[in-house]
Amino acid sequence: MSDTSELLVQFWQTVREYIPVKDRQIAADHVVNELVDLGITDNDLQELAIDRIMQAAIAEHVDLEESDEDIDDE
């Protein structure tokens, strides 16, 4: 695990405790989108998949990315 991914895992583990359960998925989606916009590597992003909420956020991002590639291929 890289220093970046360790930092991000610690960040998510800390802040999720302060986010109401009903809002955690939206928060995780936002965090993933911001990290992607900042240029996070795929490996660091996958290391962040430490719980089902973050796994879903990452999977959604990957699905959207694949959909965009399909549209570009047409």
User: Buried b vs exposed e over 41-66: b needs ≥16 C-beta within 10 Å?
Assistant: eeebbebbbeeebbebbbeebeeeee
Predicted confidence at residue 59, as pLDDT, reads 94
**Domain spans of the chain?**
3-73
Cα–Cα distance between 66 and 22 in angstroms, integer?
28
What is the value of pTM for the model shown?
Answer: 0.81
Low-confidence ranges of the chain (pLDDT < 50): none
Predicted confidence at residue 51, as pLDDT, reads 96
Predicted confidence at residue 21, as pLDDT, reads 97
Predicted confidence at residue 9, as pLDDT, reads 96
> Nearest-CA neighbor of 25 among 57, 65, 68, 58?
57
Predicted confidence at residue 2, as pLDDT, reads 86
